[in-house]
Amino acid sequence: MEAVGEVVTVGPGLTGRTVGDIVAYAGGAMGSYAEEQILPANKVVPVPSSIDPVIAASIMLKGMTAQFLLRRCFKVEPGHTVLIQAAAGGVGSLLCQWANALGATVIGTVSTKEKAAQAKDDGCHHVILYKEEDFVARVNEITSGNGVDVVYDSVGKDSLQGSLACLKLRGYMVSFGQSSGTPDPVPLSALAPKSLFLTRPSLMQYTVTRDELLETAGEVFTSIASGILKVRVNHTYPLSQAAQAHTDLESRKTSGSVVLIP
């Protein structure tokens, strides 16, 4: 669902794109495991020459997700305290780096000491090993009982109730994934005691217009160029070895991003 490539042909009457341009896309229909792809021009964005195409390919979906979560879903500003579940994951890593750069106090949860070291490196001020300690109690301790302004939760079923408990009055619960399974339903009455906000956003609804798409991708590229975002492309495979890449991914042999090269 995401790729970077060189324009080899332009449709009749199309302006603004020329053969040889490097462009990228993320989301929409599947089909990027290919040497050539036909794409609607309004769904691709130009990749600046300062950005390595392999880096761009590795970050489009994750980076644009991080952008809309931090900049629009809940606008993180200096002084905010944020909790990022799965802080060493693909999106989590970028959220930590970007939220830190925006001036927030960043709390992250991880499963292992190795991931804790990465989260620290990515700008987490406080890292919680959730298998060894109760993350709700630790967040309460870190925030002196106040709670956090926003939780970014991609874990879902295993963490949602705890995430809600970590929020301060009028806090924002942003549930954007469900790696542990679909969360149990949350009754509206559960939000009432602290007047909480709960949203389940998707990138597709935040890049509806051409302007939204260009702004979202543009901020990602700018943040890479300025050094705000560090991208770890730890593995590349020839496209012909896509099956092996999936096998390695499923058996947890990979870390960081995996890029297939046609």
How confident is the model over 60-109, as pLDDT tens digits?
999 999 999 999 999 999 999 999 999 999 999 999 999 999 999 999 99
Nearest one of 55, 58, 48, 85 to 69, comparing CA atoms: 85
Read off the amino acid at residue 87. Answer: A
Strand order, beta sheet including 2-6: 2-6, 22-26, 45-46
Query: How far apart are the C-alpha atoms of 168 and 147, rounded to whole Å?
Result: 4
Residue-level pLDDT at 16: 86
Q: What's the pLDDT at 252? A: 78
Higher pLDDT residue, 13 or 150?
150
Separation between Cα atoms, residue 74 and residue 91, nearest integer Å: 16
Contact 146, 170 (CB under 8 A): no
pLDDT of 192: 98
- What's residue 28's pLDDT? 77
How confident is the model at residue 220, as a pLDDT?
98
pLDDT band at 213 (very low <50, low <70, confident <90, very high): very high
Give the per-residue pLDDT at 139: 98
- Residue 205's contacts (CB-CB under 8 Å, 6 or more residues apart) are none
For the stretch 115-118, contacts whose Cβ atoms lie closer than 8 Å and that sit 24 or more positions apart, written own/partner, are: 115/87, 115/88, 116/88, 118/88, 118/93
Percentage of the chain surpassing pLDDT 70? 100
Q: How many CB atoms neighbour CB 61 within 10 A?
A: 17
Q: How confident is the model at residue 30 (pLDDT cuts 50, 70, 90)?
A: confident
Lowest mean pLDDT among 30-44, 91-105, 138-152: 30-44
pLDDT tens digits, residue range 216-262?
999 999 999 999 999 999 999 999 999 999 999 888 788 888 999 99
pLDDT on residue 115: 92
Give the mean pLDDT of the chain.
95
Helix (H) or strand (E) holding 123: none
Alpha-carbon distance of 180 to 195, in angstroms, equals 26
The two structure tokens encoding residue 236: 């590349």
pLDDT at 140: 98
Report the SS3 class of residue 256.
Answer: coil
**Interatomic CA distance for residues 74 and 150, integer angstroms:** 8
Q: Answer whether 9's CB lies under 8 Å from 17's CB.
A: no
pLDDT of residue 68: 98
- pLDDT exceeds cutoff 90 at 29: no
Mean pLDDT score, 113-119: 95
Higher local confidence (pLDDT), 111 or 29: 111
